[in-house]
Structure 1
Amino acid sequence: MNDFTGLRALVTGGASGIGLATAEMLAARGARVAVLDLAETGPFTYVRADVSVDAEVRAAVYAAVDVLGGLDVLVNNAGIGAQGTVEANTDDEWHRVLDVNVLGVVRVTRAALPSLRASEHAAIVNTCSIAATAGLPERAAYSASKGAVLALTRAMAADLVRDGIRVNAVNPGTADTPWVSRLLDRAADPAAERAALEARQPHGRLVSAEEVAAAIAYLASPLAGSTTGEALAVDGGMAGLRLRPRS
């Protein structure tokens, strides 16, 4: 496919996992791609920024736009995970998760909007999570942050639709990413923990980064020009299916 030919894209958190898979997919379909991350990787224009620091974000976004010659697609993928119940995490941990996962989206989008408004095919895709729509154990802070991203996506879509900017989200299930791998490595029984994560998704396995990237690419593509304010689940049916136990 070449639906991104001539378009310019910025992917935050593009050094690994879903972000890297997305950058690679957009590039393969014709886009010029820049990645914003704390770590440099891949054959893309790289701009370094901590999304919790507004000055770094503005400088990085402006630098990416300058190199790309404009901006058509923004993928807000940068984020951090967190474990714990509502009482287990300290105030500092809550502030950190919300600052990165929610305000990070705000900061990058705010810096990118002037360039996106100049595009004829402007699209923003936010990486949300199944945690925004399903209650998961020991994910209180993370779930709260992703619930905010889902609401923010719809509010942004309403604010920006008349500017010609579409805003959507993807809601991945548990994905086979480096962060999940590190989580499994810390478990008392990594194999059993992985089996449990796979079993809670109706299709019986973890979601791949490439599957999430494909959903992001669909929402970002000009071919989805009438889709805005939506959240596309990529979760093996976890959000909506209720299967009977195996006999």
Structure 2
Amino acid sequence: MSRVLVTGASSGLGAALVAKFVAEGHQVLSTDIAEDGGTTYLKLDVRRPEDWEAAVSWCEQNWGGLDILVNNAGIATGGRIDVETLDEWDRVVDINLMGVVRGCRAFTPLFKRQRSGHIVNTASAAGLVHPPMMSSYNTVKAGVVALSETLSHELYPYGVTVSVVCPSFFRTNLADSIRGADSAMGATARQLIEKSPRSADDIATAVLAGIKKKRFLIIPDRPAAMAWRTKRFARPLYDRQMRKIAERARQRAETSNG
């Protein structure tokens, strides 16, 4: 039985992961930004270092340590580079990238002392493949992948495992976090999320399987895996697909402006 902390645990993939861990008999501390999330819950805003310090203290005082840290909290964002504002960039970097950095920094000293632990960072297929009109989201998720790979080597001598989760679109309330200047791109992202045939529960099942096998790269669905393979092994085809998406967006933008 493992001791597990999950951020962004009140909804979406976070809630599905909590349910899976609990069903398998693990001890789970759910964290999110709400004041009260029910049993074994701690308010944790990933932007606040003091909240992370409190989470480490809670785990040490109540459990004597931690086995699995799941940095899952995040928001959806995106837009064309000349439309999305710098304030929007700041927000998504602070939550989606620096939130993960803060979590890893907070718990690494504990994991080093234990000579054990498993960090699981939720990124996205957007961390591996980079569609147009998603500059900010692609950038932060690629950063999470890079951070995870770095730590997988850096923390290996201490017996700490690192995994990064890279799903494609799946049904969740993540679309509710979309806001910003590029409303057209936001509407497209919402449609892709809400019409996906995959649920958060489907993704969570695959993620737990990957965690058990201590995989570094967990790609929990076929579309994400196919996109990643296409980029790696058929780059001209990948580039053509990305540029077709960009061309369709250009046509829509010019038509709406005309």
* TM-score tier (shorter): 0.7 to 0.9
Does residue 207 (structure 1) correspond to residue 193 (structure 2)? The answer is no
Q: Which runs of 5+ in 2 are unaligned?
A: 231-258
Give percent identity, aligned residues only: 35
User: 1:150 Cα shift?
Assistant: 0.7
TM-score, normalised with respect to structure 2 = 0.76
Look up the match of 1:76: 71
1:125 & 1:72 partners in 2: Cα distance? Answer: 11
Q: 2:127 aligns with which of 120, 132, 154?
A: 132
- Residue type of the alignment partner of 1:206: P
Look up the match of 1:245: none
1:69 & 1:209 partners in 2: Cα distance? Answer: 31
Residues 65 and 35 from structure 1, CA distance in 2 versus in 1: closer, same or farther, beyond 3 angstroms?
farther
**Count, aligned residues:** 225
Residues 182 and 161 from structure 1, CA distance in 2 versus in 1: closer, same or farther, beyond 3 angstroms?
closer
Alignment of 1:29-40 (within 5 A): 29-39=24-34
TM-score, normalised with respect to structure 1 = 0.79
Look up the match of 2:218: 232
Larger Rg over CA atoms = 2
Residues 40 and 231 from structure 1, CA distance in 2 versus in 1: closer, same or farther, beyond 3 angstroms?
farther
Task: Answer yes or no: is the 8 Å Cα contact 2:75–2:177 preserved in 1.
Answer: no
Look up the match of 1:87: 82
Task: Answer yes or no: is the 8 Å Cα contact 2:46–2:102 preserved in 1.
Answer: yes
- Residue type of the alignment partner of 1:167: V
Task: Answer yes or no: is the 8 Å Cα contact 1:80–1:101 preserved in 2.
Answer: yes
Look up the match of 1:59: 54
1:54 & 1:174 partners in 2: Cα distance? Answer: 30
Task: Answer yes or no: is the 8 Å Cα contact 1:73–1:116 preserved in 2.
Answer: no
User: 1:231 Cα shift?
Assistant: 1.6
Task: Answer yes or no: is the 8 Å Cα contact 1:18–1:210 preserved in 2.
Answer: yes
1:193 & 1:81 partners in 2: Cα distance? Answer: 12
1:44 & 1:33 partners in 2: Cα distance? Answer: 10
Give the root-mean-square deviation of aligned CA atoms.
Answer: 3.0
1:163 & 1:121 partners in 2: Cα distance? Answer: 7
Q: Which has the higher helix share?
A: 2
Q: Which one is further off, 130-139 or 170-179?
A: 130-139
